[in-house]
Amino acid sequence: MNYFVTGATGFIGRFLVARLLKREDSRVFALVRPGSEYKLEALRRRLGVEEQRLVPITGDLTRKSLGLSKRDLDDLAGQIDHFFHLAAIYDLNADENTQRYTNIEGTRQTLKLAEQLQAGCFHHVSSVAAGGLYPGTFTEDMFEEASGLDNPYLLTKHESEALVRQESRIPWRIYRPSLVVGHSQTGEMDKIDGPYYFFKLIQKLKDYLPNWFPLVGVESGHFNIVPVDFVASALDHIAHLPEGNGQCFHLTAERSYNFSEVMDIIAGAAQAPRMPVRLDNRVFNAVPGFVKKGVNALTPKALINQLLESLDIPPTIVQFLAFPTQYDNQRARAALEGSGIEVPDLESYIQQLWDFWENHLDPERDQRKDELQPLPSLPDKVEDKVVLITGATSGIGKASALKLARAGATVLVVARTPEKLEETLHEIKQVGGIARAYRCDVSKMESVDDLVKEVLADYGRVDILVNNAGHSIRRSVVNSVYRFHDFERTMQLNYFGSLRLIMRLLPSMLEQGSGHVINISSIGVLTNAPRFSAYVASKAALDSFTRCAASELAHQGIRFTTINMPLVRTPMIAPTKLYNHVPTISPSQAADMICDAIVRQPKRIATSLGVLGQVMHFITPRATETIMNTGYKLFSDSAAAMGRRERTPKRISREQAAFSRLFKGIHW
């Protein structure tokens, strides 16, 4: 049996050709443009077939008789059993003239050639796009009912199909595949199209958010997705059935997915954040028109287009996110019955699609391979660096100073007590580190100014500043009504002291074109822990300043990292004897977080529970408030907070123990 195929080296074409050549005594004549014969030769080698079974026919889709030579026309006349027309532009970004010329005029010339060769049947591979933006279910018998054909791609697919229906003088069959993606077994794909446009967005979410981070999706549009191997197998099978001339077949999946479902399935393969919360698109219909206009006016189109471009998403695709059409495929299902050819669920092969895209189609794949190289070691990052740590004589600060000095940094330890400073210096020297002690009360602005002058005079710079010194107060708001100085003390040290250090060191960092500021914040800023209003407010103020400053100084080489520390067993929490019985991390573990910040320079380091707490406060504020209030009522203010002598409880209640383990690291 002889076949003529246009688009034989295209994505669907090469899989179809492979199936046609599996048939006994089959030969395929493939149209190739001058200079593109090598593509067919590559396909021939891939399939392992002889030259006489896969024959190149030189021509051009837009020329009369497709530009075939007289010899080829004479040799092929009356010899073609099936003529498959797959060549077309499948690109939403192509300009209208190019699409019209190729899709419409190309189909007209192809149809005339098939008639001239007296082909047994003309198989036109159209697309569900021929139905346009029909609002509802588009059946295989529908054509004139198509609507919303303003887009050139939709219009040219519709008009090229119209040519076959209205002008063909030989038997014809039309096939409308839906969104065609890669091979369900190998993931093979030749270009970024359809759902692939959103793979980069998913990848970015994976890079910047933990995979458990819940996202909110929108249940918008209908997306019918099929793998290329199904399309090729279905084409091959239906084309050889005795019945079917003059009919259209929808090569579509049984079900369509809305936009957030597609994104969620892709995210699952990428191990990126999922979309467990999905909003019905109709919710936005309730928004008043003047509000929508206001939002549109406040969102410059150029900014949106730039954002989409950075994610490799063509702006033209946005109009299809609310795609309104679903497809009935009863005729195609009946034709494929008993063949074993069916559409697999997207979930069953999405991993293959993602892996192939990440390894072969991602525009940044080479750069990302470089990024996947091992991170530099801590010694690599701190060698010949000057690191200043406040609160460096106990707890987190001391543990960090020892680790950094051991790694080769020059550590400047800052604290108030001379004896403790000398003790810390001695320990650092014992491990072979280099350090220098500076006495400073960070809560006093004049003391901070003197510290910076002395440090710059001694070393000329500070490469890494660790704002660790802090003061915490655990006391209910109702017990703080007459203790306004609690809020003043925490702000003075935790916010103004740290801020003063940053502002005084910033000019020298800007001058050298680099600098890294690490602020030790609290998990309480993310979870809004009860009883810590004074402490959390002071840390939140520093967080807010840091975000603003980071946005301004990113291009000048200044990096900021906020570490939202969970509960750490340090002298700072010692007055609250209750904490002797609840889960905490050690100062050494906290120091590891600081070392990680120095190596990776992330914007934020936080525990999973801390980030989840922040997300819950945003998504379900009332429910989260109830949980926090339960913890508040379950525990009580310490005796110290009430002005009495604190005693260590022999044990805590079963409920308190369970609650503290469930919310490990959160201050109560």
Beta pairing class for 121-125 and 82-85 = parallel
Angstrom distance (rounded) from CA 668 to CA 660: 8
Confirm if 502 and 508 have CB atoms less than 8 A apart. Answer: no
- 170: which 2 tokens? 């030989």
Q: How far is CA 364 from CA 113, 203, 207, 360, 361, in A?
A: 43, 11, 13, 10, 9
**Contact predicate 493/442, CB 8 Å:** yes
Catalytic residue among 3, 90, 535, 579: 535
Relative orientation angle of helices 106-116 and 152-167, to the nearest 10 degrees: 20
Based on the residue annotation, tell me whether 535 is a catalytic residue of this protein: yes
Unique residue bearing structure tokens 């949980």: 627
Residue burial 226-235, b: 16+ Cβ < 10 Å; e: rest: bbbbbbbbbb
Per the DSSP assignment, residues forming a β-bridge with 413 are 389, 437
Token pair recorded at residue 188 = 């093979």
Show Cβ contacts of residue 38 under 8 Å, excluding neighbours closer than 6 positions: none
Amino acid at 482: Y
Which residues, other chains included, contact 285 with Cβ-Cβ below 8 Å and sequence gap of 6+? none
DSSP state letter for 514: -
Query: Which of 369, 351, 367 lies closest to 271, judged by CA?
Result: 351
Residue 63: both structure tokens together: 């020329």
Nearest CA-CA partner of 402 in 366, 438, 367, 426: 426
Task: Give SS3 for 381.
Answer: helix
User: CB–CB of 145/138 below 8 Å?
Assistant: yes
Nearest-CA neighbor of 404 among 423, 376, 432?
432
Which of left, alpha, beta for 499 (phi over 0: left; psi -120 to 50: alpha)? alpha
Selection from 559, 575, 549 nearest residue 517 by Cα: 559
What is the DSSP secondary-structure string of 152-185? HHHHHHHHHHHHHHHH--S-EEEEEE-EEES-TT
Long-range own/partner contacts, residues 132-135 (CB < 8 A, 24 or more apart):
132/158, 132/325, 133/323, 133/324, 133/325, 134/324, 134/325, 135/324, 135/325
Look up residue 213 and give its amino acid.
Answer: F
| Nearest residue to 68 via CA among 56, 79, 85 | 56
CA atoms within 13 A on the CB side of 268: 15
Give the position of tokens 């007459």: 482
Return d(Cα 190, Cα 59) in angstroms, integer.
23
Report the first-to-last Cα separation within the chain, whole angstroms: 79
The tokens for 7 are 């688009």
Indicate the DSSP class of residue 287: S
Give every strand in the sheet of 386-390, ordered side by side. 434-439, 410-415, 386-390, 464-467, 515-522, 558-565, 604-606
Task: Report helix, strand or coil for 390.
Answer: strand
Distance CA 379, CA 396 (A): 19
What is the chain's alpha carbon radius of gyration, rounded to the nearest angstrom? Answer: 34
Q: Which residues are catalytic?
A: 535
